[in-house]
Amino acid sequence: MMMIRMIKMMIMMMMMMMMMMMMMILVVLMTMMMMMMYDDDDDDSDDYDDDDDDDDDSDDDDDLMMMMMMMMMMMMIRMMMMMLIRIMMMMMMMMMMMMMMIMMMMMVIRMMMIMMMMMMMMMMMI
């Protein structure tokens, strides 16, 4: 029973890890996309060479984009942190369970050993 639970936990852990990896990739992709867009906007503003006002407007837009990007990044990072903490908790639980199991096993083995010793003693006595 415990083994099954452990396996389930392990699978969950794997899934979580996969999710984390996906999140990381997503964040990177998002940043890349944003950067590309940002660069393009810059090029456009440089290419046009219209009135100063227009350029200013475009710059403002860029700033807005940057702001948005930063916000997105912050959100993503927060999510990542949450996930990490959760995973850490899971790990701790796993470790505890493992320790408990090992302890139990040790106890059982010790008990068995003692029993064996007792038996041996009895045999000797007889």
Cα 12 from Cα 4, distance rounded (Å): 12
**Tokens of residue 100, six digits:** 């408990």
Cα 3 from Cα 8, distance rounded (Å): 9
89-109 burial string, b = 16+ CB within 10 Å, else e? eeeeeeeeeeeeeeeeeeeee
Q: What integer pLDDT is reported at residue 27 of this predicted model?
A: 73
Cα 85 from Cα 95, distance rounded (Å): 15
Give per-residue pLDDT as tens, 59-92: 566 777 777 777 777 777 777 777 777 777 777 7
Predicted TM-score of the model (pTM): 0.29
Give per-residue pLDDT as tens, 30-55: 777 777 766 555 555 555 555 555 55
- Angle 40-42-47 (CA atoms, 0-180°, nearest 5)? 95
Domain hosting 40: range is 1-125
What is the domain count for the chain? 1
